[in-house]
Amino acid sequence: MPHRYRQFDLDLQLCFPLYAATRAVTRRYSELLADAHLTYPQYLSLLVLWRAEKPLSVGELGERLRLDSGTLTPLLKRLESTGLVVRSRDDADERRVLVALTDEGWGLRKRLAHVPQELLASLDLSDREAQQLRRLLGKVLASLDASRP
């Protein structure tokens, strides 16, 4: 390949290993979550709700997950249909929809407590390497967020 076309070499692109790694990690999460009948995005939603001290609005949840309401609403409907969350209008502001965990949703936390460690073991990274990777990916996200118009 002529030198002038190296910018088109897939192996030299930063985007491709990020994309491929994301797909592989998501596939591994799918395996780990299969018994609970959860998708990876549903699991991420539960992670945020498990850490919240109170019900979150759909907007707050979407902001934390970096998802728009058009993507988040069907995901939450599915979680609600399986009895893991309830959605209700905020008494203080009828425009806001709040999302809260049910007892079943809270119970699933204990059942899935092994997932983060199993995923980390699948990556074959040391704790230090995992922290470095998280830090670098956080930097990538922050840089891309800052460059948005």
Encode the chain (149 residues) as per-residue pLDDT tens digits: 556 777 888 888 999 999 999 999 999 999 999 999 999 999 999 999 999 989 999 999 999 999 998 999 999 999 999 999 999 998 988 889 999 999 999 999 999 999 999 999 999 999 999 999 999 999 999 999 999 88
Residue 49 within a domain? yes
- Looking at residue 16, its amino acid is F
Within-domain flag for 140: no
Domain assignment of residue 136, yes or no = no
Residue with tokens 């990916």: 137
**CATH number assigned to the domain comprising residue 23:** 1.10.10.10
The reply to whether 130 falls in a domain is: no
Residue 76 lies inside a defined structural domain of this protein: yes
Query: What is the spatial distance between Cα 124 and Cα 146, in angstroms, rounded to a whole number?
Result: 32
> pTM, whole model, 2 decimals?
0.89
Number of domains in the chain: 1
Task: State the pLDDT at residue 2.
Answer: 58
Flag whether 24 is in a domain.
yes
In which domain, by residue range, is 82 found? 13-113
Residue pointed to by tokens 């995992």: 130
Question: Measured between alpha carbons, how far is residue 99 from residues 25, 60, 95 in Å?
Answer: 27, 10, 13
